[in-house]
């Protein structure tokens, strides 16, 4: 395998793993929750 291909493949692996990690940690992708959700926005000030 050429070096360029190796760099490319390992970068793709990194990209997909960081995407999955982000989805899991910050976007609740893998939380199969059947309940309805609504986001309510606010600032930390009354």
15 binds other proteins (CB under 8 A): yes
Distance of CA 24 to the CA centre of its chain: 6
CA dihedral over 23, 27, 31, 34, signed as positive or negative: negative
Residue with tokens 């960081």: 18
Size of site (CB under 8 A) for other proteins: 25
* Residue 44 within binding range of other proteins, rule CB under 8 A: yes
Q: 3-class SS at 17? A: helix
> If binding is defined by CB under 8 A, does position 9 make contact with other proteins?
no
Enumerate binding residues for other proteins (CB under 8 A).
3, 7, 11, 14-15, 18-19, 21-22, 25-27, 33, 35-46
């Amino acid at each position: 395998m050429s070096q360029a291909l190796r760099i490319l493949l390992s970068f793709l692996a990194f990209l997909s793993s960081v995407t999955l990690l982000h989805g899991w940690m910050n976007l609740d992708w893998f939380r199969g929750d059947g309940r309805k959700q609504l986001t309510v926005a606010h600032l930390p000030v009354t």
